[in-house]
Chain A
Amino acid sequence: MKQFKGRPVVAGKCTAPALVSHGGFNTLASFQGALQFGEIPVLGSKYKQTECDDQNNKDLYRKPMLGKALCLPQTIGSTTGGMVLYCAKALGKSPACLLFSEHIDSLAAAGAILAANFCDEPMVTVDCLGQEFLDYVKDGMQITVDEDGTVTVD
């Protein structure tokens, strides 16, 4: 077990298995398949668990993101990013929480804050966890997040 202290951008408690992206996480590219086709018969069959659709992300491509503790450096790509995260949360297709090794970027911050203000429940978001966090955490490790931004990795 190891603990890391970050900054709660959207504070809250959360427990979920880790899913790790070592490179920048392209929000639109990752969610576009699940959001557009997740509910459509046949077309959406491979997106039921919000499978990552970003072919450029070797860590996450085709892995399910639903309910995971998404561990990442930052998000990149289209400025629809925040809106996409907000929609994912509102539609029940989002990761359980977002854990950033670096300072959060403007698009992810927008998504997390929009979800906090306009969704029934927030998407817990912690940033500034450090490179050591991203080096240590592996897919499937159990993550527990506390209100004060403490992240425990089992």
Chain B
Amino acid sequence: MDYKMTLTPEQEALLNGSKGEAVAKAMKTLVMYGEAFGAEKMVPVTSKMGHLVTSFGLKVMKPVYDLLDTLIEGNALSGQKFSVDPKPLDKNVPASFLENIVFNKLMYSMQGSYDAQLEKLGLLSKDAYTCACYLDEVGNKPEKGEILSWAESSAVVYANSVLGARCNRNSGIIELFGSITGYVPYFGLLTDEGRKATWIVEVNTTKKPEAQVLGSAIGMKVMEDVPYVRGLDKWLGTELDGDACAYLKDFGAATASNGAVGLYHIANLTPEAVEQGESLIAPDAKVYVIDDAELERVQNNYPVMWKNPDGKPQLCFVGCPHLSLAQLNEWTDNVSAALKKNGLKKVSVPTVFTSAPGVVEAFNKTPKAKVLKDCGVVLSYICPLMYMNNPLCKSKNVITCSNKLRTYTTSRYYRSEQILDIITKEVK
């Protein structure tokens, strides 16, 4: 193939088939991908682990399974272990008889064989299915400055912004190719220049903004650009503690799904903003001012996709992206206290909290597990987005405080305190 970038002898050998045709084709794809962005070289992937976005064995993804079979047969396996996004199904999550037939027979009938393919390619463990792989209980937490070959928009934006790692918004399959070859093209968010902010966001709210609405507003405004956010440290502080990290996890997921943000800087908080300050802001950066009215406007503009907008909620999902252990504890305390206050024993809307298998396991060892179960809340490891991606769910009134879930499904968005209020009061 013709290419302009400079390859090392080892990279050129891979391209010419030194490790087989399958690796060569993966390398060729990465070189073409890099050249589309003017990359002048390929750089080594330096993180210990990868992360894949595709966790679901959808029957329709046959072209992907065929491609993976070709890789496995050609011994083109990942050079690093990887985690992967959450599984789509869990028998503990409420589903009708018809839904179970659709899920198991029509949609995810390839789940078992796809899981087997992932194991052969380099899956970290049977419990490595989560979108929040960087949580302590999962253990795929890259160091600052490491080069990653990851996909999953919420994980990429977190790794770049909160951990200071370097990763482009890679697509599914491309991220696996990077882990197989050990190289990724050097462009975009891997470069110092690509990490400069081209937007200044001024947060001028009178109270702590809801992470998922603030992220949504910023994502829709800046699209794939890098925002430098001023004024949020007033509400989050200047330490990346558990609360701040959980907030930024949810905020980032909304920027990435409502727009295409792969990196944000929070003044006085995120690592590069702390180190480099406003020198991170590019000349001629545009300005977006966010106040209470702007957040209200953004939330009010979300389309309501329920067939009957006045209908009662039938299912509630909390945890997209997956909840951290601290968030799970906080939700448990809040639900328990609100039910008590309202004179109820169990939530009034079937409710599912979702988190990483490792977090679920850790939580289940604590007394709070019983508290949550007694409240009637189901705790699961699934991906609510995958669960809802079917026509049957479109006729179900699902509520959520996840802006990512709202974006991809017919679920209706409410802020966290609204969700708490709805599920802990009698449904009228």
Chain A residues proximal to chain B, CB less than 8 Å: 9, 24, 26, 28-29, 32-33, 35-40, 43, 55-56, 74-84, 86-87, 90-91, 104-107, 109-111, 113-114, 116-119
A residues less than 8 Å from B367 (CB atoms): none
User: Would you list which residues of chain B between 369 and 401 have a CB under 8 Å from chain A?
Assistant: 389-391
Q: Which 3 A-B pairs have the closest CB atoms?
A: A82-B171, A110-B171, A83-B172
Q: Can you name the residue of chain B whose Cβ is closest to the Cβ of A46?
A: B391
Inter-chain residue pair count (beta carbon < 8 A): 132
Q: Are A106 and B32 in contact (CB under 8 A)?
A: no
Tell whether B169 is near chain A: CB-to-CB under 8 Å: yes
B residues less than 8 Å from A82 (CB atoms): 171-174
Interface residues contributed by chain B, number (CB under 8 Å): 46
Q: Are B169 and A107 in contact (CB under 8 A)?
A: yes
Q: How far is the CB of A112 from chain B (nearest CB, A)?
A: 8
Q: A77-B153, A106-B171 are in contact. List 4 more A-B contacts (CB 8 A).
A: A36-B107, A37-B390, A39-B60, A109-B37
Q: Are A86 and B391 in contact (CB under 8 A)?
A: no
Known A76-B224, A118-B67: A28·B29 in contact at CB below 8 Å? no
B residues less than 8 Å from A104 (CB atoms): 36
Q: Can you name the residue of chain B whose Cβ is closest to the Cβ of A82?
A: B171
Known A79-B171, A86-B173, A90-B63: A37·B391 in contact at CB below 8 Å? yes
Residue pairs across A and B with Cβ atoms less than 8 A apart, 19 shown, are A29-B407, A43-B390, A75-B260, A76-B260, A77-B153, A77-B407, A82-B171, A83-B64, A83-B173, A86-B64, A86-B173, A87-B60, A105-B224, A106-B170, A107-B260, A109-B37, A110-B171, A113-B29, A119-B63
Partner pick for B391 among A43, A75, A81, CB 8 A cutoff: A43
Chain B residues proximal to chain A, CB less than 8 Å: 25, 28-29, 32-33, 36-37, 53-54, 58, 60-64, 67, 102, 106-107, 151-153, 156, 168-175, 188, 223-224, 256-257, 259-260, 303, 305, 389-391, 407-408, 410
Q: Can you name the residue of chain B whose Cβ is closest to the Cβ of A103?
A: B37
Q: Are A56 and B407 in contact (CB under 8 A)?
A: yes
B residues less than 8 Å from A56 (CB atoms): 303, 407
Q: Are A114 and B25 in contact (CB under 8 A)?
A: no
Assembly CA distance A109 to B185 (angstroms):
13
Q: How far is the CB of A6 from chain B (nearest CB, A)?
A: 13
Assembly CA distance A78 to B321 (angstroms):
12
Known A76-B223, A118-B63: A36·B171 in contact at CB below 8 Å? no
